[in-house]
Amino acid sequence: MYEKNPLSPHLQIYKWHLSMILSITHRIIGVVNSVAIILICLWTISLPFGEENYEIIKILFQSFFGKLLITSLSWSFSFHILSEIRHLIWDLGYGFDLKIAKITGVITIIGSLVLTVLIYILGNFFI
């Protein structure tokens, strides 16, 4: 009986709403960011092997795909940062009201796009 416990969440049963979409997206983005950080680790591990071995990675990063990759990563990091702050606010006992939860959800989505632009500006013009 114990092993037959239902697994959550029941995506096919409940009507989709913003908090549900954000919760699922938070999990998926968490996994995506984990994979991205593993790739970043492999990138930094490759550095001590010298400049010649780095050429392929450099060509990739300087291509359109490389720029798209970094922009996507900036958004996924931004989304995860804001969504995690939302979860921390919930952990403190605030923001459970349905209206507030919707507002913070919208802030997370729009904020992640704004933060992505901010990261681009900071990374390219201020550092």
Partner 1 sequence: MHHSTKKWLVIKFSSIILIPLMFWFIVNLASIYDESYIEIVNFFAKNSSKALYSLFLIAAFSFFSLTISEVFEDYIDNEKIKNVATKMLYVFAIIMPLITISSILNLN
Among 25, 74, 104, 112, binds partner 1 (CB under 8 A): 74
- Do 18 and 105 meet the contact criterion of CB atoms below 8 Å apart? yes
Rounded distance between C-alpha atoms, residue 113 and residue 122, angstroms: 14
Using the rule CB under 8 A, give the single segment among 11-19, 66-74, 98-106 that binds partner 1.
66-74
Q: What count of Cα atoms within 13 Å lies in the side-chain half-sphere of residue 31? A: 5
**CB-count burial class (<10 Å; 0-12, 13-18, 19+) for 81:** middle
Residue 72 as a binder of partner 1 (CB under 8 A): the answer is no
Q: Annotate each residue in 79-98 with x if it binds partner 1 (CB under 8 A) or - if it does not, as one string.
A: -xx--xx-xx--x-------
Contacts of range 47-54, beta carbons closer than 8 Å, 24 or more positions apart: none
Binding residues for partner 1, rule: CB under 8 A, are 3, 7-9, 27, 30-31, 33-34, 37-38, 40-41, 44-45, 47-48, 51, 54, 58, 61-62, 66-67, 70, 73-74, 77-78, 80-81, 84-85, 87-88, 91, 119-120, 122-124, 127
